[in-house]
Amino acid sequence: MLLIKQNGLLLVLLTFIYTLGFSQGNNQGTFSGNLEANGNFFQEDVDILATGTPQYDHQLFGAETWMDLRYSNFGFDVGVRFDLFNNSNLLNPQSSYSDQGIGRWFVKKQVNKLGITAGYIYDQIGSGIIFRAFEQRPLLIDNALMGLKLTYDLTPDWQIKAFTGRQKNLFDLYESIVRGGSIEGYIVGDSSRWTMAPGIGVVGRTIDDETMGRLITTLSFYPDPFRVGAKYNSYGISIYNTLSAGNFTWYVEGAYKTQESFFDPLFEYTNSIGEKAIGKFDFQDGNVIYTSIGYAAKGLGISVEGKRTENFTFRIDPFETENRGAINFLPPMARVNTYRLNARYTPATQELGEQAIQLDVRYSPSRKLGFLVNFSNITTLNNDLLYREVYTEITYKYKRKWQLISGIQWQNYNQNIYEGKPGVDILETVTPYAEYLYKFSRKKSIRIETQYMLTAPGISGYKNRDLGDWVFAQVEVGLAPHWIFTISDMYNIDPVNKTRENVEPIHYPTLGVVYTHHSNRFELKYVKQVEGIVCAGGICRLEPAFSGIKMSVRSTF
């Protein structure tokens, strides 16, 4: 039924585009679009545990495609996106998902001071702590709001916004309703010495009757005193401001969420038959305080972030978990690392409770030399360690001929919390790394990247080694403007694997080529990838090992 409705809406939208474009003489407007297509060929490899899913067992191939089309004319901005999933493992790495249809459509129009948007909406309030409708394709997160958004310019510096709708659920919609609004402004101080950008936002969610019935039934099975209440409506309010003065910038946001039912996967209790159980619904309010202070001067940049989160899971459906159905977004509090081994253990934001601080210092005494130190520390509200990282980096550039980047990373990582591995000690790693870039000419270059990860080095006394020590090396040859050739290997040099005896060191090679022509980019690579954390935009999940061929096409027009 929804597909029929979508096709009908698409027909109306295309008719509208045609009318705009061809009924007004020679003014054809602006038409643009982009394509993103991925293909995965799965090749079973029992040694690295790339097995046991439908793709490896019999499907052998999976694909994902997104194609956006956009047209602008006479003050209208309209767009539509086609989504396709064939045997895809993005939704759940352990299963297969196939479907296709209209993933998004929208119509925008500015009428004097009034802005109108109908369709699938991406937007946020403040930093997103109480509301953020966004997309992260690598994790198949697309929680656009299907509804209506209105904005009105009270003055050139102040705007009010209101919206209502239902959250997207793949090619369907959740039944619960979301509505909200905000007022944001911009204030310039005396002689422009300082500026402020204050704002306040409110979001409400009403649970549908069917979901509420399921929730009440579930809660009724909890024994006293573990039974909790349930409410149809919950609200979040956020107050935020950005203050800029000279070289300093300060952002602060405080948010509060009223009482609601949410699932706590770590709650331990005794069930109705006297057995120990883990995981149940709770009923509490929540709060978040987040701030960041930045200082920038010639050659020096310093930023400090702090965040405290308590019971701030805010979902369209209380039965949804992990990355599904989130109404809001909590800013991550750890560095986003790009090197393969440095990024192997990345902390996911803990919605129910964490307190964190991050310090980043960058100093460049000259154009040739640069230094970076980053420190992050994340704990529970009881000060139990979740994650700690010290990251250092030195960059040296010799004219325009070559560049060397080198440093060392030290991590403490709670695998029990982040990967659901109970009973294991905190994982400690030390990872030195280096990257060397040499330019033979303006069009020819070579880049060499190396890392070595030592597990449980004894600095903090932890014993957990996970899968053991690793070494990674990569060579990338660039032949501008068309070709990039890459070969790499991630080698489990000192393996530890409790699932098999007589563990031998394993290679995880990658061989790839990228061809770019104008606005088209084609990539083909052979990959063996170890099980690990995959993150996008601060949102993470654990993914199994991969073995096979990956191909992708990117095009804009």
Tell me: the pLDDT tens digits for 140-185?
999 999 999 999 999 999 999 999 999 999 999 999 999 999 999 9
- The reported pLDDT for the residue numbered 225 is 83
Per-position b or e across 346-368, b if 16+ CB within 10 A of its CB: bbbbbbbbbbbebebebeeeeee
Residue 534, both tokens = 């995959």
At a CB cut-off of 8 Å and minimum separation 6, what does 58 contact? none
Give the distance from CA 334 to its chain's centroid.
13
Return the bridge partners of 370, or none: 395
What torsion do the CA atoms of 239, 240, 245, 249 make, to the nearest 10 degrees? 150
SS (H, E, C) 69-124: EEEEECCEEEEEEEEEEEEECCCCCCCCEEEEEEEEEEEEEEECCEEEEEEEECEE
Q: What is the number of helices (H) and of strands (E) in the chain?
A: 4, 32
| 3-state DSSP assignment of residue 258 | strand
Distance CA 233, CA 203 (A): 11
Distance CA 437, CA 447 (A): 4
User: Rounded to whole angstroms, what are the CA distances from 525 to 41, 114, 301, 436, 485?
Assistant: 10, 48, 38, 22, 10
pLDDT of 264 strictly over 60: yes
- The reported pLDDT for the residue numbered 4 is 53
Distance CA 79, CA 76 (A): 10
Contact predicate 88/74, CB 8 Å: no
Q: List the domains of the chain with CATH numbers.
A: 332-557 (2.40.160)
| 3-state DSSP assignment of residue 543 | strand
Q: Give the DSSP H/E element, type plus range, for residue 448.
A: strand 444-455
Rounded to a whole number of angstroms, the distance between the first and last alpha carbons of the chain is 33
Distance CA 57, CA 64 (A): 19
- The reported pLDDT for the residue numbered 6 is 57
pLDDT of 248 strictly over 70: yes
Distance CA 346, CA 378 (A): 12
The mean per-residue pLDDT over the stretch 348-377 comes to 97
Distance CA 201, CA 176 (A): 20
- The reported pLDDT for the residue numbered 422 is 83
pLDDT of 103 strictly over 80: yes
At a CB cut-off of 8 Å and minimum separation 6, what does 7 contact? 102
Contact predicate 327/131, CB 8 Å: yes
Rounded to 5 degrees, φ, ψ at 417 are -80, -50
pLDDT band at 25 (very low <50, low <70, confident <90, very high): low
Distance CA 104, CA 10 (A): 10
pLDDT of 126 strictly over 60: yes
Pairing of strands 546-556, 30-42: antiparallel
Give the distance from CA 89 to its chain's centroid.
17
pLDDT band at 274 (very low <50, low <70, confident <90, very high): confident
pLDDT band at 192 (very low <50, low <70, confident <90, very high): confident
pLDDT of 78 strictly over 90: yes
Cα angle for residues 234, 235, 241 (degrees, 5° grid):
160
pLDDT of 132 strictly over 60: yes
How many of the other CB atoms lie within 10 Å of CB of 448? 13
pLDDT above 70 as % of the chain: 94
pLDDT in tens, 462-471: 999 999 999 9
pLDDT of 556 strictly over 90: yes
pLDDT band at 22 (very low <50, low <70, confident <90, very high): low
Residue 312, both tokens = 């701030």
Contact predicate 293/249, CB 8 Å: yes
Looking from the CA of 539 toward its CB, the CA atoms found within 13 Å total 18
Reported pTM: 0.90
The residue whose two tokens read 């919950």 is 234
At a CB cut-off of 8 Å and minimum separation 6, what does 423 contact? 416
| 3-state DSSP assignment of residue 530 | coil
Return the bridge partners of 398, or none: 402
Amino acid of residue 467:
L
